[in-house]
Amino acid sequence: MNVIGLGLESSCDETAASVVKNGSEILSNIIFSQVSLHREYSGVVPEIASRAHLEVINGLIDTALAKAGVSFNDLNYIAATNRPGLVGSLLVGLQTAKAISFALDIPLIAVNHLEAHLYAAFLEGRQELRFPYIGLLASGGNTAVYEVKGIGDMECIGKTIDDAVGEAFDKVAKYLGLEYPGGPVIEKLALDAVKKEMLFPKILTAGGDTRFSYSGIKTAVVNYINANPSADKAEIVYAFQERALELLVRRVFAFARKRGIKRIVAAGGVAANGRLRALLSAAAAGEEIIAPPPALCADNGAMISGLAFHYYMRKEFDDLSVDVRSRVLERR
Ligand code: AMP
Ligand code: MG
């Protein structure tokens, strides 16, 4: 028997709805990006985000069902991100899911956005879902590494003490007058660097340190720009990107080797970065590197619906009292 689920995602500035079959096959994956609404502010404005989610979510659901060739009555479950994220934004997706669950009398599954990002690597049967693995989550709001031991069972083994890595990409881009979001723009511009000098110091080099930090390098970049106003932008972003990514790579392999785990999954918006993927592959010595295709690194509903399938099979449902949470506890 096939299990069909609808997944909703509205934790930040993408509104998304996706129909997934049996936790893996994507029948539709509709994403409305709000980037153009937030561009003039160089970052996400929470009030604008939640209003925009509200305006488009019903239409997105209709489109996702139509594209998948299914109707509401074909759905076995409804899933939505309920943590972590912007509270007003999360509410739109979760309340919509509650209404659908109530009206159709189908199970509601509230999903951890971070666990779903990592699960994206296993959609479309690209990889067999096996545990444990070391999961690197690098996005605009989060930078953390987990030992993922099973569905709903992930231990955080290192995280940022200040900014997320994607946030640092966005802020460095802003200081240089580049477009928002900064990640893809910086990746492209860095390819034009002629002089490839390490203009900024390595981050958190003490042995045994498990933390990440991105506010220091951000300040170093700003100070450098102020002291060298005519410096080449491509060379600045090259140097920034190398240091920012180097820390991710260094930490991931240190954790993997310490724990004797040979599978590494990299996910989240920053995992779309080709230089990060190349650095991870180059540093591997027997470790398997797994990452979703770049399109599934960004926020999407398929990862929500796909992960929720496993909770559905385990009959781990949520009731209508489930709420949103801006932060996430490490265990479900
Ligand atoms: P997310 O928070 O998962 O929605 O991802 C958005 C974040 O990923 C933003 O901070 C982007 O700047 C960043 N990002 C997207 N693409 C890239 C890329 N190619 N390189 C680095 N960062 C990226
Ligand atoms: Mg995300």
Pairwise pLDDT comparison (34 vs 212), residue with the higher score = 212
Q: What angle do CA 130, 136, 140 make, to 5 degrees?
A: 135
Residue nearest to atom 23 of ligand 1 (CA): 183
Tell which CATH classification among 3.10.290.10, 3.40.50.2000, 3.20.20.10, 3.30.420.40 matches the domain 4-122+296-313: 3.30.420.40
Q: Which residues pair with 289 in a beta bridge?
A: 264
Q: How far are the Cα atoms of 55, 126, 132, 147 from residue 261, in angstroms, in the given order?
A: 44, 20, 7, 9
Neighbours of ion ligand 2 (CB under 5 A): 139, 299
Pocket test for ligand 1, best of 175, 176, 270, 277 (most atoms within 8 A of CB): 270
Same fold, 4-122+296-313 and 130-291: yes
Domain ranges of the chain: 4-122+296-313, 130-291
Q: Which of 261, 168, 247, 245 is nearest to 210 (CA)?
A: 247
CB 107 near ligand 1, within 6 Å: no
Query: What pLDDT digit, counting tens, does each position of 21-79 carry?
Result: 999 999 999 999 988 888 888 788 899 999 999 999 999 999 999 999 999 999 999 99
| Domain at 130-291, CATH homologous superfamily | ATPase, nucleotide binding domain (3.30.420.40)
Report pLDDT for 329. Answer: 60
CA of residue 123 to ligand 2 center, whole Å: 16
- Give the range among 109-118, 253-262, 322-331 with minimum mean pLDDT: 322-331
13 Cα nearest atom in ligand 1: 4
CA of residue 114 to ligand 1 center, whole Å: 14
Helix, strand, coil shares, percent, the chain, to 5: 45, 20, 35
CA of residue 272 to ligand 1 center, whole Å: 7
CB 181 near ligand 1, within 6 Å: yes
CB 183 near ligand 1, within 6 Å: yes
Report pLDDT for 330. Answer: 46
